[in-house]
Amino acid sequence: MKKVVLVTGASSGIGRDTAIKLNDRGYLVYGAARRLDRLDELVPMGINVLPLDVTDDGSMVKCVSSLVEKEGGIDVLVNCAGYGSCGAVEDVPMEEARRQFEVNVFGLARMTQLVLPYMRDRHSGTIVNISSIAGKMASPMGAWYYSAKHAVEGLSDSLRMEVQDFGINVVIIEPGLTATAWGIIAADSMMKESGGGAYSALAKKLSDRMYSYYRTQGRITSASVISALIVKAVEAKHPRARYVGGTISHLTLFTRRLLCDRSFDRVIRKFTC
Ligand SMILES: NC(=O)c1ccc[n+]([C@@H]2O[C@H](COP(=O)([O-])OP(=O)(O)OC[C@H]3O[C@@H](n4cnc5c(N)ncnc54)[C@H](OP(=O)(O)O)[C@@H]3O)[C@@H](O)[C@H]2O)c1
């Protein structure tokens, strides 16, 4: 019997690459997102697609129930849907801050709630939450993204201990800069929110750097490195709690552990401000 996988955020980047890799490896894959035209590109490969907006409870319920109706259950959930909301804390409207948490935290949590009864029934399952090195550190102009990823880390750690006795694994993936659409969306939001006020010089400097990294994409980790880590976690008999993706990510988190807060601030400010 093929294992049934649901990948959210499958219309682009890490989620898309993960859906393709798992499909190639013989899993029965469902890819979900809002942009159906992008999802349709996966259909000829044999991937099933479902509409999903993780800010809409009805859409999440419908997505999981239609999958379970067809397949009788679910073995793996990869929570990949997310985006980067940037800008200074003083500038970002609270409505946008709430939206960031709605997509990156509450959407992931609700999808998890919806699949857990089916995983408990089978006494097995794996939930993979795409966090970030941003869940372990911070830099200026991304407070809502960083705090949302910190929340994903805490939520996943609690969940892992709660569901262990039901035979369910919870895995956190921590990518660093990865060559997807994420960076341009994040840099655009930084300029939108902070491009014109007291923080404009910093916003311009940081977003210019992000545009240069994410437009050329050569100097940052390829999405396939991260999707390979996700596959490794899904296929591990005893997966680790966390997998860090990308060489610079390891170095950054090592430096974070090594230095006190003030010293780490100095390092980050040296590279950003
Ligand atoms: N790229 C990086 O540098 C990086 C680094 C660390 C962590 N991450 C994390 O990796 C995950 C995947 O991002 P990515 O880099 O692959 O970026 P991406 O290429 O922009 O993909 C983001 C995916 O999320 C989906 N999504 C966004 N809002 C949604 C919503 N309301 N409902 C359902 N789906 C939604 C998008 O689909 P639709 O727009 O079609 O709905 C898209 O498929 C995110 O959680 C991100 O925070 C990325």
What is the distance between the alpha carbons of residues 107 and 112, in angstroms, rounded to a whole number? 9
Q: What is the pLDDT of residue 217?
A: 76
- The string of pLDDT tens digits covering residues 23-73 is 999 999 999 999 999 999 999 999 999 999 999 999 999 999 999 999 999
* Pocket (CB within 6 angstroms of ligand 1): 8-15, 33-35, 38, 52-55, 80-83, 103, 130, 132, 175, 177-178, 180-183, 185
Ligand 1 atom showing the smallest separation from residue 52 Cα: 33
Nearest 10 degrees: CA dihedral of 230, 81, 50, 66?
80
User: What's the number of domains the chain is made of?
Assistant: 1
Supply the CATH number for residue 242's domain.
3.40.50.720
pTM for this entry: 0.98
Q: Taking all residues of the chain, what is their mean pLDDT, rounded to a whole number?
A: 97
Interior/surface letters 145-180, b for 16+ CB within 10 angstroms, e for the rest: bbbbbbbbbebbeebbeebeeeebbbbbbbbbbbbb
Containing domain of residue 9, as a range? 4-272
Two tokens, residue 234: 């899904």
- The string of pLDDT tens digits covering residues 125-184 is 999 999 999 999 999 999 999 999 999 999 999 999 999 999 999 999 999 999 999 999
Helix (H) or strand (E) holding 127: strand 125-130
Residue closest via CA to ligand 1's atom 43 equals 9
- The string of pLDDT tens digits covering residues 186-232 is 999 999 999 999 999 999 999 999 999 999 877 899 999 999 999 99
